[in-house]
Structure 1
Amino acid sequence: MIDAIDNAAGLSPGDEHYNLRRLRPEFVEGAEQCRLSVLQPANDQGLEAGLRLALAHRMAALNQAWELVADYEAQLVAMAPPEPLMALAKGSTALDEPLATLARHVDLITLTPGLATANDITRLEQAGLNNPQIVALSELIAFVNFQTRVVAGLHLLRSA
């Protein structure tokens, strides 16, 4: 099974690094299960799929993970989201609430996580997010940033 990380890293069956990933199949399966659970959860907690994809696209772009950007963009465009979600995905900061706060938070955690404080959670609450939504957002941020780093690492291995 080729997963999203394989696709983004350009791996295919028979490739040395594809096979290397399969030495720990639980990690490959786990990453794919995490991807599905943060992008298409059974209970979206009020953070709908288009919003999740827009945020994933934004984070992939911040990390310069262009293969993931293309994948997230294709998924997002297929959903025909409203313009504010496309603007969010494309990196706009001129957004209405709560998208402006979500963009600020995603950018902060993606680019400078060490600068995050409890006040950043308070800002999410003030923008109308409840605790389950904040947890779901945190899971999404954690996964996409993990995914971009795994893909970057695989690109480095392939270039060595």
Structure 2
Amino acid sequence: MSAAPPDVIDLLAGIEPASPLYDIRNQRAQARENAQKSYLALFEPEVPGDLTTVERFAVANFVAGLHRQPAVAEFYAAGLHRLAERRISDAIVTEISRGSTRGPYGRYPDGPLSVEDVAGPGYQVAPENQQVLGRKLIAALEHAHLLVFHPRDASPAALQTLLNAGWSTTGIVTLSQLISFLAFQIRVVAGLRTLSSASEAPVDVPRTAVFTGVLASGRV
């Protein structure tokens, strides 16, 4: 019987068994288990279906790079390197650099929130990488960039662009789940790393409260 795969969030956050952060995560054992199951379902599915394993790791590498989380980006880059040709990995590295910005940008529907509209740069895969990546992956990267930096601008037209590039409706659902999971995973890992590197919390403040505060602050 093969050993269970390591908990990915523990791995990315550098959490060792029996450490204080390990104990914090174990206080919500069901949440820990569900996060690991989500990772396995999205990145190690028994049947990849409409979203290939290469596409999954390429999008994950790209999204983690846009979030400026080196540990997470390197993890998915290593997975992509194992699965795909070097030129695909190199193209993703280039696209992370090209797509990096601050955000979030976008427009709200006309109304009171329009005062918070923020214009920002769009993103398209570089012409020199289009043949390497192919129509489906190009559309996936551009859609991921939209969700990361222009969430207010998500629209039926954006989904139609994916359909036009050859994505099925099932594939689009899986792609959306993957990007959403990455946002969660990256935020949790960043929060845990921040807590790990911080000085000891005051004795009257539980570490769980510190972790919750870090996540709620929006600084990760």
- Pair 1:139 & 2:177 matched: yes
Check whether the contact 2:58–2:92 (CA below 8 A) recurs between aligned residues: yes
Paired positions, count: 159
Match of 1:148 in 2: 186
- Pair 1:86 & 2:66 matched: no
In 1, Cα distance between equivalents of 2:157 and 2:87: 25
In 2, Cα distance between equivalents of 1:84 and 1:123: 25
Q: Unaligned stretches of 5+ in structure 1?
A: none
Q: Deviations over 1:99-134 (max 9, x none)?
A: 221111011112232221111111111111111110
- Pair 1:7 & 2:45 matched: no
Larger radius of gyration: 2
TM-score, length-scaled by structure 1: 0.90
Q: Aligned with 2:72: secondary structure?
A: helix
In 2, Cα distance between equivalents of 1:130 and 1:32: 26
Q: Deviations over 1:7-46 (max 9, x none)?
A: 1111111221111011011111110110011112233222
In 2, Cα distance between equivalents of 1:54 and 1:88: 10
Would the alpha carbon gap of residues 47 and 88 (structure 1) be closer, same or farther in structure 2, given more than 3 Å must change?
farther
Q: Unaligned stretches of 5+ in structure 2?
A: 96-124, 200-220
What letter corresponds to residue 154 of structure 2 in structure 1? A
Kindly indicate which of the two structures has a greater share of residues assigned to helix: 1
Percent identity at matched positions?
Answer: 30
Give the number of the structure with larger relative contact order, counting CA–CA contacts within 8 Å between residues 6 or more apart.
1
1:71 corresponds to which of 72, 75, 78? 75
Check whether the contact 1:54–1:88 (CA below 8 A) recurs between aligned residues: no
In 2, Cα distance between equivalents of 1:91 and 1:25: 38
Check whether the contact 1:58–1:88 (CA below 8 A) recurs between aligned residues: no
